Structure 1
Amino acid sequence: MSRITVLHVDDEPDFLDVAAELLEQRFSDFNVITETSGTEALERLAASDVDCIVSDYRMPGQDGIELLEAVREKYPDVPFILFTGEGNEAVASDAIAAGATDYLRKGHGTERYELLANRIENAVDQYRTSQQAAELERVRTLASSVDQALIRADSIAEIKTRVCEIISESDPYLFAWIGERDPTTDRIEPCAYAGVEESYLENITVTADDSPTGQGPAGTAIRERRIAASQNIRNDPEFEAWRDEALERGYKSCAAVPLEYDGTLYGLLSVYSSRSFAFCESEQALLSELGDNISHAVHSLKIRDELRAERTFIDQALDSLADIFYVLDPEGRIQRCNEQFTTVAGDNKEQSTNPDAVTFFPADEQDAVASAIKEALTTGQTTVEADLLTGDGKRIPYEFTVGRLTDQDGNLRGLVGTGRNISERNKRERELEDQKEQLEQFAATVSHDLRNPLNVISGRLDLVQEECTTEHLDVIETATDRMERIIEDLLWLTRKQREIGSQEPVAIETAAEAAWNIAADPIDEAEMYCDCEGDGQMLIRADVDQFQHLLENLFRNAIDHAGLDVTVVVGKISSDSAGFYIEDDGPGIPAEEREKVFKPGYSSSESGTGIGLNIAKRVVEAHGWDIRVTESSIGGTRFEITGLETIE
């Protein structure tokens, strides 16, 4: 048995001294403290932890029975032995009735003190056993109540409030609060509390630094991440900053527990007891376990709140889409969709009870939709265009993209996709198709209505030139040739545009000679030669007709802007480059103008149409090549075409 503190009360000081000496000498486990009156005994009892009270019966002012009754009002379980020399059966009966643990008459000889010691040991042993059982039940009840509160709490604030309420309502605790460290000020700011408080937290400052307000249990627990306790507030020098406020409210000891989970500090739990030395090893173990449970619960709710916030954000983002978003299970049933889907599809009872995706489409579209779902499940993704039925039975054209949805282990969860209203796109496509038809009709009209009179002019011009010679006829011939080129360019723009047909091997030198024969007049002094004989023919893959048209336009551009005596060179850019160039010895193009030359209608020549280079750029881009204009090595303009697919 551990050391026993005995409060011996008797109005005879000499007797007290003798009794205390005999008990302590013969029984080393005893610590005897003495008082000569009931009033003094009650004061000592309030200030000290006592295991057993031994009291005389007949004392002035307050006898032993009256003292017993006063003790039982505040300390119902503390062992109380009435030890008197003037007692009788009536006194013994009254003592037992008042709640005395035992009754013993004084006597001569040391054997009476041995008997008293035995009675004290038995009473304290029973008392401590009872206290341990009650303490165990208290601990179980407290832990269970806190765990239930943690399970039922729906928010972190509720967890903190309920924990403080439950702990403060459990004897011997008076007050509990939970705070969080402010990283800016290093103060521990309360966020929940319960119990005997009376503005305690408003009147004190608690920090986690090395200042005097950070030396108590709370600051130590935060800094060292461990439970810290002040077992005797009255005498603890590290509790000086808050001692008066604490004692005024009956706090005699205090413990602080860091609320930490997986390295993250979520706060601090501080608990105050009405008893000194209340936080023994087992009590600290209990609080540490409660702290771990609270931290885990706070962490779980924090993660849950973050997931809820993230899900809310995702839902809001999906609902803000103008497109439809949907998730299907492997059977093709709708598991999730955004508000846009509901807005378009409306509220259909059949669809609500049987959310099969195909039921949202007209009967003539359902087979195509079902096939698309099957294809996405098989291949991983697909796209399908189908009319979606609105709530009032209208049809809206949509383009749906569908992809497989799997979990982190690769197991099939279903399909996910979007649907886009293509009503406007279809409308634009129809309008473009109409415009294309109108343009082609216009081109046919131009070709017929302009070429017929142009052919008449050319024919008459030939006849006139046979009969006479004049420079005016040369001007007319040039004008008719220009009109023919304009008609050809317009027809290309309206009919062929950027469409590229099958691509075949093309020798650049051969194609250049053919294009030059068309673009240049044999009677002119213009010359073209290829600078690639040393490397042999350069073979590329291209649409033959379009490539021919590209070369013709570049050659005509050189003749129009550099003059009829221009020299044009066609060559390979370098031995390791998939590209060729066309350059001339004309005046060139200023650097600030080079980005403009490919724009429709741009021309620096009075005879130019401003269409040829734009056509050249379209042909190049349609093949996936690049074209740029720079200064030639012979002083004029140089066009470089790169990115070609060459053939070895």
Structure 2
Amino acid sequence: MRSDPPVDLLYVNDDDRLRELVSAQLRAESDRLRIETADSAAEGERLLAAEPIDCVLCDHHMPEVTGVEFLKRVREDRPDLPFLLFTNTGTEAVASESIEAGVTDYVIQDAIENQAPLLARKIITYVEHRRAQRERDRTNERLRQIASVTDQVWWVFSPTWDELRFINDGHEAIFGQPVSELRADPTTFLDRVHGDDADRVRLAMESASKGTPQVVEYRVEKSDAVRLWVESRCKPITDDAGNVTSLVGLTRDVTDRKLYERELTETVDRLEEFTATVSHDLRNPLNIAAGNLQLARGSDGDEHLETAIDAVARMDDLIEEVLTLAKEGRTLGERRDVPYEEIVEKSYENVRASESDLRVTGSVPLSCDSARLTQAFENVVRNAVEHGGSGVTLTAGVLPDEAGVFVEDDGPGVPPAERDRVFEKGHTTRRDGSGFGLAIVERIVDAHGWDVRLTEGTEGGARFEILT
């Protein structure tokens, strides 16, 4: 257990007997007090210069230099050092003069009562207060040093936003407003907020005052020609009773991020337009070609026409997979909890591999975009059927400790040297394969924030594990 630190006291009194008596009483009252004594102001000044004194206790009526005169000398170099006048007589004039000189406390000695308990409490209280204040000052100075080199705005407001308690120079850089102006009226930063965003910012301020942390993005009109996007984060600080005592936060410039998001949105829109065009412009002539080939084949059949029909069907599959890969990317719709068994069974049914078999040995709820995840498992099932044959058996279940799920087959499996490459776009071991199916699986799994890996199944086939 950490013990309380000692308190070094200097007691100045020209009366030898009283000096020894009070010192003994104080030591008996608190073992934290380490007391140095002096019989004059001159000796007291010497000890102050030589020793790390935390507090001075001094009598007023001393020859040559009085206690108030000594106090004035101490205050020249030590304006915050606790200094208590403890005297057996006193007048209003002495009390007034000592207060004007900066005395910490003024105590009249009672000859009848032992005042050591009172003095010890006062001395320790004042010293601890000074130490705490100095620690706060050191902390604040470190914060100011850090805040001075950051491009973010650090701020502290009162719970009602009517008092600015701290802010760094970053405010002017972002809001184009002098800090002195903000201190004079702490809510004038709202004048720089874009009109369409001001109500949203005020609502966030009201919620923070009630104790709810806030994150709000809004536009700042820094000048007639400059508009920024900023993000403000606010955390209410509360006391033991849950009352908000201050609002602490930071504001940072997020203009670059907003511009990137806008560019990304425009890119996605162009990509969707492109994929729609590709789908229309390629599918139509393919459908015409397929229809005419079917008519030309007639009832007799022709080997060359059959090959052409298969090629057209393969081109249609390739277009579908490329468009899927382009449209899905890392984008998901709404996520909800869906049983894994439901996902994998639906995927298996969609593939329609009539001679194959699926066994589900376990299920867990998955927070997912069910349509996207179903598509991923369709590709896993299709991969098993294409490599293991139409009679392949698939097994789906849950990994130990519910760390994820798996699908494995009893087909030929994938050699270890090939496992790291199966998710690469274009990688395939089949002559008519596109190499996109498992790449789509990885994209969809990654978009969910999960991982997929390929290993060997219990019967030597391929085993796909989704680590959720």
TM-score (norm 1): 0.48
Asked if structure 1 preserves the Cα contact closer than 8 Å seen for 2:220 and 2:230, the reply is yes
Rounded to whole Å, the distance in 1 between the matches of 2:261 and 2:152 is 20
Rg larger for: 1
Q: In structure 2, give the amino acid aligned to 1:591.
A: P
Q: Indicate the residue corresponding to 2:171 in structure 1.
A: 341
Q: Report the CA distance shift for 1:350/1:572 in structure 2 as closer, same or farther (over 3 A).
A: closer
Q: Which has the higher contact order (CA 8 A, sep 6+)?
A: 2
Q: Indicate the residue corresponding to 2:332 in structure 1.
A: 499
Shift of 1:434: 0.9
Asked if structure 2 preserves the Cα contact closer than 8 Å seen for 1:362 and 1:388, the reply is yes
Q: In structure 2, give the amino acid aligned to 1:353.
A: A
DSSP 3-state at the match of 1:507: helix
Q: Does 1:571 align with 2:396?
A: yes
Rounded to whole Å, the distance in 1 between the matches of 2:269 and 2:60 is 94
Q: Indicate the residue corresponding to 1:555 in structure 2.
A: 381
DSSP 3-state at the match of 2:65: helix
Q: In structure 2, give the amino acid aligned to 1:609.
A: S
Q: Indicate the residue corresponding to 2:77 in structure 1.
A: 153
Q: Indicate the residue corresponding to 1:82 in structure 2.
A: none
For residues 43-54 of structure 1, the aligned pairs below 5 Å read none
Rounded to whole Å, the distance in 2 between the matches of 1:456 and 1:568 is 38
**What whole-Å deviation, never above 9, does each CA across 1:525-569 have from its counterpart, x for those lacking one?**
xx421224xx6x958566553343223211232344x26466241
Shift of 1:440: 0.6
Q: Indicate the residue corresponding to 1:326 in structure 2.
A: 155
Q: In structure 2, give the amino acid aligned to 1:342.
A: E
Q: Does 1:591 align with 2:416?
A: yes
Rounded to whole Å, the distance in 2 between the matches of 1:508 and 1:297 is 69
Asked if structure 2 preserves the Cα contact closer than 8 Å seen for 1:509 and 1:530, the reply is no
DSSP 3-state at the match of 1:369: helix
Alignment partner for residue 355 of structure 1, among 175, 178, 186? 186
For residues 227-376 of structure 1, the aligned pairs below 5 Å read 307-333=136-162, 334-347=164-177, 351=182, 353-356=184-187, 357-376=189-208
RMSD: 4.0
Alignment partner for residue 460 of structure 1, among 283, 288, 292? 292
DSSP 3-state at the match of 2:293: helix
Rounded to whole Å, the distance in 1 between the matches of 2:245 and 2:237 is 5
Rounded to whole Å, the distance in 1 between the matches of 2:455 and 2:192 is 59
Rounded to whole Å, the distance in 1 between the matches of 2:297 and 2:221 is 73
DSSP 3-state at the match of 1:403: strand
Q: Does 1:486 align with 2:312?
A: no
Structure 2 gaps of 5+ residues are: 1-58, 82-121
**What whole-Å deviation, never above 9, does each CA across 1:273-308 have from its counterpart, x for those lacking one?**
xxxxxxxxxxxxxxxxxxxx9999999887766543
Larger deviation, residues 417-426 vs 327-336: 327-336
Rounded to whole Å, the distance in 1 between the matches of 2:183 and 2:344 is 70
Rounded to whole Å, the distance in 2 between the matches of 1:294 and 1:552 is 79
Q: Does 1:413 align with 2:245?
A: yes
Q: Report the CA distance shift for 1:409/1:345 in structure 2 as closer, same or farther (over 3 A).
A: same
Q: In structure 1, give the amino acid aligned to 2:237.
A: L
Q: Does 1:432 align with 2:264?
A: yes
**What whole-Å deviation, never above 9, does each CA across 1:114-167 have from its counterpart, x for those lacking one?**
xxxxxxxxxxxxxxxxxxxxx9965783766655444432499xx9xxxxxxxx
Asked if structure 1 preserves the Cα contact closer than 8 Å seen for 2:217 and 2:231, the reply is yes
Alignment length (residue pairs): 363
Rounded to whole Å, the distance in 2 between the matches of 1:148 and 1:410 is 44
For residues 124-203 of structure 1, the aligned pairs below 5 Å read 141=65, 147-154=71-78
Q: Indicate the residue corresponding to 1:620 in structure 2.
A: 445
Q: In structure 1, give the amino acid aligned to 2:359.
A: D
DSSP 3-state at the match of 2:356: strand
Shift of 1:577: 4.9
Q: In structure 2, give the amino acid aligned to 1:319.
A: S
Q: Indicate the residue corresponding to 1:511 in structure 2.
A: 346
Q: Indicate the residue corresponding to 2:282 in structure 1.
A: 450
Q: Does 1:607 align with 2:432?
A: yes
Q: In structure 1, give the amino acid aligned to 2:193.
A: F
Rounded to whole Å, the distance in 2 between the matches of 1:320 and 1:488 is 53
Structure 1 gaps of 5+ residues are: 1-134, 160-292, 644-648
Asked if structure 1 preserves the Cα contact closer than 8 Å seen for 2:176 and 2:223, the reply is yes
Larger deviation, residues 357-366 vs 420-429: 357-366
Asked if structure 2 preserves the Cα contact closer than 8 Å seen for 1:401 and 1:417, the reply is yes
Rounded to whole Å, the distance in 2 between the matches of 1:136 and 1:514 is 99
Shift of 1:432: 1.0
Shift of 1:593: 4.1
Asked if structure 1 preserves the Cα contact closer than 8 Å seen for 2:222 and 2:228, the reply is yes
Rounded to whole Å, the distance in 1 between the matches of 2:212 and 2:151 is 25
Q: Report the CA distance shift for 1:373/1:637 in structure 2 as closer, same or farther (over 3 A).
A: same
Rounded to whole Å, the distance in 1 between the matches of 2:401 and 2:184 is 67
Shift of 1:448: 0.6
DSSP 3-state at the match of 1:609: coil
**What whole-Å deviation, never above 9, does each CA across 1:389-448 have from its counterpart, x for those lacking one?**
326674322121222133566442232212222211221111111111110110011101
Larger deviation, residues 325-334 vs 344-353: 344-353
Q: Indicate the residue corresponding to 2:359 in structure 1.
A: 531
Larger deviation, residues 338-347 vs 468-477: 468-477
Rounded to whole Å, the distance in 1 between the matches of 2:194 and 2:343 is 56
Q: In structure 1, give the amino acid aligned to 2:155.
A: Y
TM-score (norm 2): 0.65
Asked if structure 1 preserves the Cα contact closer than 8 Å seen for 2:332 and 2:372, the reply is no
Q: In structure 2, give the amino acid aligned to 1:346.
A: G
Q: Report the CA distance shift for 1:328/1:617 in structure 2 as closer, same or farther (over 3 A).
A: same
Q: Report the CA distance shift for 1:295/1:144 in structure 2 as closer, same or farther (over 3 A).
A: farther
Shift of 1:610: 2.9
Q: In structure 1, give the amino acid aligned to 2:159.
A: P
Asked if structure 2 preserves the Cα contact closer than 8 Å seen for 1:358 and 1:366, the reply is yes
Question: Percent of aligned positions with the same letter in both sequences?
Answer: 30
